[in-house]
Amino acid sequence: MGSRQWISRLSETFYPSWFRLGSMANFDLGSIPEAPKAFDVLKQWCLILLYSNGYRLNDTRLLTTVHQVFNLYIQLEKQQPLGLISVAPLTKYCFNLPASRRKIGNSYSLVILELAHCLSVIDIECVSRGIFFIK
């Protein structure tokens, strides 16, 4: 699946492992006239990965790809990103993977959706939990 290589490279660029290399927040979009068009293309690429059906159970990088796509898509799509993520075929496919579910009582919780919820930081609780984790 060659189309997944770009998400890995882009993720390394936007979210480098060393904080001094900057992040997506350091981009001055006003100085890049093509930025809005480029980000529209990136959103479409994320949707292609989210709505693709070419995944296999033995795919060892699937959860990494899911994290990278979710992270980028939530940054780019400000209007209802969780709505599109929660109904995407990739999200539904991940529910069949044992590593992406956890049992809560008599039901299962999809770790993928919890990840998307935390990445979106729509609840103040997500921010405070992150701060406590770092402390």
pLDDT tens string, the chain, 135 residues long: the values are: 456 677 778 877 777 777 677 766 667 777 888 888 988 888 888 888 888 877 776 677 777 888 888 888 888 887 778 788 888 888 778 777 777 777 778 887 777 777 777 777 666 666 666 666 665
CA atoms within 13 A on the CB side of 109: 10
Domain count within the chain: 1
> What are the backbone angles phi and psi of residue 113, rounded to the nearest 5°?
-70, -35
Contact 71, 99 (CB under 8 A): no
Q: Which domain holds residue 119?
A: 2-134
> pTM of the full predicted structure?
0.70
**CA dihedral for 132, 133, 134, 135, sign (positive or negative):** positive
DSSP letters along 20-69, please? GG--GGG--GGG-TTHHHHHHHHHHHHHHHHT-----TT-TTHHHHHHHH
